[in-house]
Amino acid sequence: MKGRVNAGLIAGGVLVGLVVAMALVSFVWTPHDPELVDAANKLREPGDGYLLGADKFGRDTFSQLMVGARTTLYVGIVAVGIAALIGTPLGVIAGMTRLRWLSELVMRVNDLVFAFPALLLAVMLGAVYGAGTLTAMIAIGVATVPAFARVARAATMQVMVTDYILAARAAGRRRLPVAFRHVLPNIGSMLIVQASVSFAIAILAEAALSFLGFGTRPPTPSWGRMLQESQELLFSTPRLALWPGLAIALAVLGFNLLGDGLRDYLDPKLRRIRAER
C-alpha cells in the first residue's frame, strides 16, 4: 500500500535535487575557478559576476559552494554505501538466525561500534594515516554501520514471522534464497529511508570534520572548511559564514524531510517505527 505524496517529500526532494544539480553542474561549469587565489578580488563584495562575493583569498564563494556540494555528496554516498553494505547483511543475518548467541553477538558488536562516533574514528584515522577525504568517508561509514544493522535486524524480524516466509521455508527454500528473494525486497523501503536519514547525518559529520581540519584537504572546497575559514572574519565579513552555513543546513534539512516523506509514502504503517540513529 502506498501513501500519499506529502509536502515533506516534495520539499525534501526539491532541496536534495538542488544540491545534486549544483554538484552536477559544477563538473562542467562554475562561474570562476573555485580554487583560484586572486589577490585583486580579496573579500570582493557580491556583484559583477561574483554572485555571492569572494573570500579572503579572492576565491568566488558561489563557485566554492557548487564544488562543495560535490564534496558533500561524494562523502555522503561513499559513507552511506559502506554503512549499508556492511550493516544490512549483519542485520539480516542477526534477524534471520535461530542461533540466539549469533544474534546477540552481532548486536553487542554493534553497541561497541556505536561507542566510536565518526568524529573519534576520523581523528584516530587522521592521527595515524593523515587526515583527508578518504579517512573521513571511512570513519563516517563505519560509524553509521550500527544504524543500518539495527534497522535491518528489526525489519527482518518482522518479515520472518509472516506467512509467506513460512510458505517459502515449507516449500524447501534454503536460507540464502529466502534472504534474497523474500527478506531483502520487503525490508528495502526501510533501508531507503534509513539511507536518507543517514545521509543527513553524514553531511553533518563531514562538515564538522572539515571544520576541524580532519576532512577534505585544501584546496578542494568543502562547506565545513569554508565555515572554519570564515570564523576569523565574522566581525568584518559575516556573509562568508552565512552561505556555507545555509548550504549545510538546507542540505541536511532536505535529506531529513526526504527520509520522513519517503517513510510515509512507502509504507504508512511504518510511521510509528522511528529509525534509531
Partner 1 sequence: MILYLLKRTAVFLVSTAVAGVLVFAFMAVLPGDPAEVALGVNATPEALAELRRQFGTDRPPVAQFLDWFGGLATGDFGTSYVTSAPIGPQISDRLGVTVVLVGGGMLAALLIAVPAGTFAAVHHRNPLGVVISAFSQVGIAIPAFLAGILLVFVFAVQAQALPSGGYVPLAEDPVEWFRSLLLPWLSLGLVQGAVLTRYVRSAVLDVMREDYLRTARAKGRGRMGALWRHGLRNAAVPVVTVLGLQLATLLIGAVVVERVFVIPGLGDLLLNGVAARDLLLVQGVVMVLVAAVLLINFVVDVAYAALDPRLRGAR
Nearer to partner 1 by C-beta: 32 or 224?
224
SS3 annotation, the chain? CCCCCCHHHHHHHHHHHHHHHHHHHHHHCCCCCCCCCCHHHCCCCCECCECCCECCCCCEHHHHHHHHHHHHHHHHHHHHHHHHHHHHHHHHHHHHCCCHHHHHHHHHHHHHHHCCCHHHHHHHHHHHHCCCHHHHHHHHHHHHHHHHHHHHHHHHHHHHCCHHHHHHHHCCCCHHHHHHHHHHHHHHHHHHHHHHHHHHHHHHHHHHHHHHCCCCCCCCCCHHHHHHHHHCCCCCCCHHHHHHHHHHHHHHHHHHHHHHHHHHHHCHHHHHCCCCC
Question: Does 256 contact partner 1 by CB under 8 A?
Answer: yes
Which has the closest alpha carbon to 263: 211, 201, 200, 189? 189
Q: Which stretch binds partner 1 (CB under 8 A): 24-32, 85-93, 122-130, 181-189?
A: 122-130
Minimum distance, C-beta of residue 234 to partner 1, in the bound complex (Å)? 6
The reply on whether position 108 binds partner 1 by CB under 8 A is yes
Residue 43, Ramachandran bin (φ over 0: left; ψ between -120 and 50: alpha; else beta):
left
Question: Which of 30, 243 has the CB closer to partner 1?
Answer: 243
Q: Does 128 bind partner 1 (CB under 8 A)?
A: yes
Among the listed residues 18, 43, 51, 124, the single contact to partner 1 using CB under 8 A:
124
Q: Does 111 participate in binding partner 1 (rule CB under 8 A)? A: yes
Contacts of partner 1 in 49-88 (CB under 8 A): none
Nearer to partner 1, 13 or 117 (CB): 117
Contact positions with partner 1 (CB under 8 A) in 209-248: 211-212, 227, 230-231, 234-235, 238, 241, 245, 248
Shortest Å distance, C-beta 102 to partner 1: 17
Among 77, 134, 253, 273, binds partner 1 (CB under 8 A): 253
112 binds partner 1 (CB under 8 A): yes
192-211 residues near partner 1, rule: CB under 8 A: 200, 204, 207-208, 211
Positions that interact with partner 1 (CB under 8 A): 108, 111-112, 114-117, 119-120, 123-124, 126-128, 200, 204, 207-208, 211-212, 227, 230-231, 234-235, 238, 241, 245, 248-250, 252-253, 256-257, 277
